[in-house]
A and B are shown apart, each in its own frame.
Chain A
Amino acid sequence: MSKMQINITVNGKKQELLAEPRELLIHVLRERLGVTGPHVGCDTSHCGACTVDMDGKSVKACTVFAAQANGADITTIEGLGGPDGLHVLQQMFKEHHGLQCGFCTPGMITRAYRLLQEIPNPSEEEVRFGMAGNLCRCTGYQNIVKAILAAAAELNAAKEAAQ
């Protein structure tokens, strides 16, 4: 089968590549673009380790073909912050011990990033329900919830201070 030209924006940078239509977005990111933060934890679209932000939506990059993603604007964990400038969510996952092995963390944080834009001041229940597409085998979720609630409080405080 012929390859097709894929144009996507990843973390603000325009990328052009040739890919087979069947290549999954997660593989395009990891194997062709070296964006290896998003992970693969299953093959049935349950775990959410591959979650990226695509055109303003949290999506599981294992369930999107490269062809479907053509033209999309994608943010991954690498685009939210790095070691020299952590995103508030990254800082709070660190402070509240919201990760252990770290394998679910990129997907968790990328999902939480979108959740907090939709519900800036969520309840604990809203966080748990809003994160239900992301599985974690290490933390038991409790500290992930704490980290997200703490990040929400920080972001809201910063917003108020700016007004």
Chain B
Amino acid sequence: MIPGSFEYHRPDSVASALEILAEYGDEARAIAGGHSLIPMMKLRMADVGHLVDLQAIADLKGITVQGDTIIIGAMTTQQELISSAELASAAPILREASLQIADPQVRYVGTIGGNVANGDPGNDLPGLMQCLDAQYTLAGRDGTREVAARDFYEAAYFTAREDDEILVSIKFRATTGGYAYEKQKRKIGDYATAAAAVLIAKDGATCSFASIAMTNLSDTPVWCEAAADALVGSSLDQAAIDAAVAAMLETIDPQEDNRGPVEFKNHVAGVILRRAIERAASRA
């Protein structure tokens, strides 16, 4: 319950936040909503000498929809994702997924940037961002660079972000066709036993596009390219869905924990992916 001591900083620009991160190196951590970091600090699993609070940096906030490009500031909260009519129209899967994350209080403060940069495979938005083929913009002292969500996750808590970089925004294309974020969990606020993000577009009765990513079934989110390929060109019939599930099961690597043994997780992953495909197809 009681975290270790730290010095607190509240910079009002990305540049100034980057200076502080550079000055204190390993000792410094950026804090967004704080709803992953503070719990870890309270358990003394994270030891932070200098906390760099991003709350006063206006540039990190807001949702912009320009044509079919959506850019979301890293400090945008889950609650803001849920309540944005513009986002619900341009990419409704964000709202569907965000409503399955945590609980109301956590969603008021937890941010999209914190969720995707945290590196915990239990977080829901990383898989969703891989499904959407989102690009993350990282700012460092030498400028910014973009990293695809599909290349960002290396292992549990290891990402392509360098310690002295800040994730500033997330960019992806508006979705067309059907979507679903299907999540199996033990109760409200739990990380997924298994979850699937699915986008499907149809041309007549034929699937013309599909994207699939799975959550909490490996030490990173898993973008399942072969599973999506198994759907494209099909009529989304049972055989195609079976093939997609089989391809997905080849790419995940669940670990046994108190959500269940590996065999159970593989089973649940299949059930969840089928449901997600069916719901996305029904909306396409």
> Contact residues of A with B, CB < 8 Å?
1-2, 4, 20-22, 24, 40, 43-46, 48, 51, 57-60, 62-65, 67-68, 70, 111, 115, 130-133
Cβ–Cβ < 8 Å partners of B102 in chain A: 133
Contact: A60 with B104, CB < 8 Å? Answer: no
From known contacts A21-B6, A67-B53, infer whether A59 and B38 are also in contact, taking CB-CB under 8 Å: no
Shortest distance from the beta carbon of A73 to any chain B beta carbon, whole Å: 14
Q: Give how many B residues have a beta carbon under 8 Å from the other chain's beta carbons.
A: 30
Contact: B103 with A65, CB < 8 Å? Answer: no
Contact: B1 with A68, CB < 8 Å? Answer: no
Shortest distance from the beta carbon of A75 to any chain B beta carbon, whole Å: 14
Number of A-B pairs whose CB atoms are under 8 Å?
84
Q: Give the contacts of B1-46 with A (CB-CB under 8 A).
A: 1-8, 10, 31, 34-35, 38-39, 41-43
Tell which of B6, B8, B53 has the most Cβ of chain A within 10 Å: B8
Contact: A115 with B104, CB < 8 Å? Answer: yes
Contact: B188 with A20, CB < 8 Å? Answer: no
From the candidates B1, B55, B104, name the one contacting A130 in the complex (CB within 8 A). B104
B107, closest chain A residue (CB): A133
Contact: A63 with B38, CB < 8 Å? Answer: yes
Interface readout for B124-136 with A: 1 if CB under 8 Å, 0 if not?
0000000000000
- A-B pairs with the 10 shortest C-beta distances? A133-B103, A21-B8, A67-B8, A1-B5, A57-B108, A132-B188, A43-B1, A133-B105, A132-B103, A60-B105
A26, closest chain B residue (CB): B1
Shortest distance from the beta carbon of B192 to any chain A beta carbon, whole Å: 16
Cα distance A1–B49 in the bound complex, in angstroms: 10
Cβ–Cβ < 8 Å partners of A62 in chain B: 1, 42
A61, closest chain B residue (CB): B105
Contact: B105 with A1, CB < 8 Å? Answer: no
Contact: A46 with B108, CB < 8 Å? Answer: no
Cβ–Cβ < 8 Å partners of A70 in chain B: 10
From known contacts A63-B39, A67-B53, A68-B53, infer whether A45 and B8 are also in contact, taking CB-CB under 8 Å: no
Contact: B108 with A58, CB < 8 Å? Answer: yes
Cβ–Cβ < 8 Å partners of A48 in chain B: 103, 105
From known contacts A44-B39, A68-B34, A111-B105, infer whether A133 and B7 are also in contact, taking CB-CB under 8 Å: no
Cα distance A4–B5 in the bound complex, in angstroms: 12
Interface readout for B91-113 with A: 1 if CB under 8 Å, 0 if not?
00000000000111110110000
Q: Give the contacts of B33-84 with A (CB-CB under 8 A).
A: 34-35, 38-39, 41-43, 51, 53, 55, 79
Q: List 6 A-B contacts (CB under 8 A).
A: A21-B6, A24-B3, A43-B39, A63-B35, A64-B109, A133-B188
